[in-house]
Homo-oligomer: A and B are copies of this chain.
Amino acid sequence: MPENTLYPHVSVDCVVLGFDGSQFNVLLLKRTGIEGSQTFNDLKLPGGLIFSDENLDDAAHRIVGEHINTNALFLKQFKSFGSPSRTSHPRDVHWLEKAVQLKIGRIVTIGYLALLRISSTLRFHSKDVQAIWVPLQQVGTLAFDHNQIVEEAVREVCEIVVRDPSTVFNLLPKRFTASQMRVVYEALFGQPLDVRNFHKKMSRMPYVVPLDEFEKQVAHRAARYYRFDKKIYFKVYGGFYPGRSSLYGQ
């Protein structure tokens, strides 16, 4: 089957990062396979071959959508991976042949990154027993080159948030307190942030609007709720971020 070596397959792999209020988790799927005469269980990213008439973004939505509701999901292509050896581990070769029902020569994969908050209302699709959230710190050895893909995705996240501050609100509920927002930033940057300075930073964001609503039933002073205002945000940034290019002319 020379076609299979000449013509690589194309897949999409999705690094779905969910913030649970204190840390980041990645959505992984349980995989069972055979290596030699042994069976093994490990984990992989949600991913799959693209359909012949499907564009990349659609494929990514479809693949994530097999496990969670993707309405209004932040989902962004971030990097492609095409090492010829990325699917050549015996475990992976064997698993692929069973899963895809094709002899696979090589797969180039397009990496997608999704950001969302893990809320009490977020549910895996019914009967989806293979999908689990794994805290980033506890991710072990994954299938294929998926550790590398996760690593690169994580590297992306901060840059995305810095470039476009509105993306953090994907990680927060509609109403959120200042400390919820601060905890997200602390997780992103891996260090504690000064509370007073963070309040000032927030108050300098015109698109973070304070509400006249407060926490209830808490064993301490009730925190104020805020919300993110998209319209104000786009008015402020005008759709462009600082450092935009104008190489095509002013």
Contacts and interface: CB of A to CB of B under 8 A. Distances in A.
Copies of this protein, total: 2
Contact of A190 (B10, B108, B247): B247
A84 B10 contact: no
Contact of A9 (B7, B53, B55, B188): B7
B108 A10 contact: yes
A131 interface: no
B82 A55 contact: yes
Given A52-B106, A190-B249, 12 more contacts: A4-B7, A6-B52, A7-B8, A7-B9, A52-B84, A52-B105, A54-B84, A55-B82, A56-B82, A56-B83, A136-B247, A190-B247
Which 6 A-B residue pairings sit nearest by Cβ, starting from the closest? A190-B246, A56-B82, A158-B245, A162-B243, A7-B7, A190-B250
Interface of A: 3-10, 24, 50, 52-56, 77, 79-84, 105-106, 108, 110, 136-137, 151, 154-159, 162-163, 187-191, 243-250
